[in-house]
Amino acid sequence: VHDETAGGSYEELRASFTAAVSHDLRTPLARVLALLETALLPGTDPRQLVEQAREEVEQISELVDDVLFLSELETGREVVSLGSTRVEPIVRDVAEQLGERAERADVALTFQVEEGLELPLRPRMLRMVVENLVENAVRYAGPRASFALTAGHENGTVVISAVDDGAGVPDEELLRLFERFYRGDRVRASRGTGLGLAIVKHVVNAAGGSVEALRSSGGGLEVRCVFPS
């Protein structure tokens, strides 16, 4: 399934975007407010409440960062496509960073990067792509699933492929995964904003590449990022 940007007016898109961000900000903000009010009551342990409030604020900052990053991307190609970055060190870093979470989720991760491979992206952007793909597998593939990230030349292009054999998504959802704020029916109860793959798409597009999501041969999800070589 190839990704095709949906039609609709820019104003409509902007309005729904703003509404969704406001909604996602309001929930943690309300929790912070409740925690602060509780801390003022006599006989409560403010330290624990402050710690909880700090976590909520961190979540808010992450969302704001993602939104700012996305709008930065949308204003210009040069923000992203400057420079060239070796893929292997970044993948190794992300693998280390997410290894523990993957173990807890019982998802086996493997990584295979062509030696010396570079991509026309700044390090932060490349990291963003790899992180999002691995994190999604850890979150959604389900226990006993395997995930493999491979990067290398394929038929005159450079491909980053993220494949798992986990829960996957129904075929009719595949087209929508790259939309901002889109989350699958099955995962709505879990934390997440639905921005990860939208960001992946923008970064890859900005580097002149394209993205697609398909059912993997193992019945899970495959996300492919294809760059001109």
Ligand X SMILES: Nc1ncnc2c1ncn2[C@@H]1O[C@H](COP(=O)(O)OP(=O)(O)OP(=O)(O)O)[C@@H](O)[C@H]1O
120, 166, 168, 196: residue in contact with Mg ion (rule CB under 5 A)? 196
Residues 201 and 224: beta-carbon distance below 8 Å = no
Smallest gap from residue 60 Cβ to Mg ion (A): 17
> In this complex, which beta carbon is closest to ligand X, that of residue 46 or of residue 192?
192
- Which residues, in sequence order, are bridge partners of residue 224? 161, 212
> In this complex, which beta carbon is closest to ligand X, that of residue 144 or of residue 153?
144
For residue 63, give every residue at least 6 positions away whose Cβ sits within 8 Å of its Cβ, in sequence order, or none. 21, 24, 25, 193, 195
Near Mg ion in 106-145, by CB under 5 A: 136
28, 120, 168, 209: residue in contact with ligand X (rule CB under 6 A)? 168
Dist. CA 136–CA 169, nearest whole Å: 12
Smallest gap from residue 111 Cβ to ligand X (A): 15
167, 210, 212, 218: residue in contact with ligand X (rule CB under 6 A)? 167
Near ligand X in 93-132, by CB under 6 A: 132
Interaction between residue 177 and ligand X (CB under 6 A)? yes
Q: What are the tokens at 13?
A: 């898109």
Q: CA distances (Å), 177 to each of 116, 201, 221, in order?
A: 31, 10, 11
164 binds, among Mg ion, ligand X, none (CB under 5 to 8 A by kind): ligand X
DSSP string, 51-66: HHHHHHHHHHHHHHHH
Stretch that binds Mg ion, among 8-16, 109-117, 164-172, 190-198 (CB under 5 A): 190-198
* Residue of 165, 184, 186 lying closest to 173 (CA atoms): 184
196, 203, 209, 211: residue in contact with ligand X (rule CB under 6 A)? 196
Residues 207 and 121: beta-carbon distance below 8 Å = yes
183 binds, among Mg ion, ligand X, none (CB under 5 to 8 A by kind): ligand X
| Four-residue CA torsion sign, 12, 18, 21, 27 | negative
Residues contributing to the site for ligand X (CB under 6 A): 132, 136-137, 140-141, 164, 166-169, 177, 182-184, 187, 192-198, 221
Residues forming contacts to Mg ion in the complex (CB under 5 A) are: 136, 196
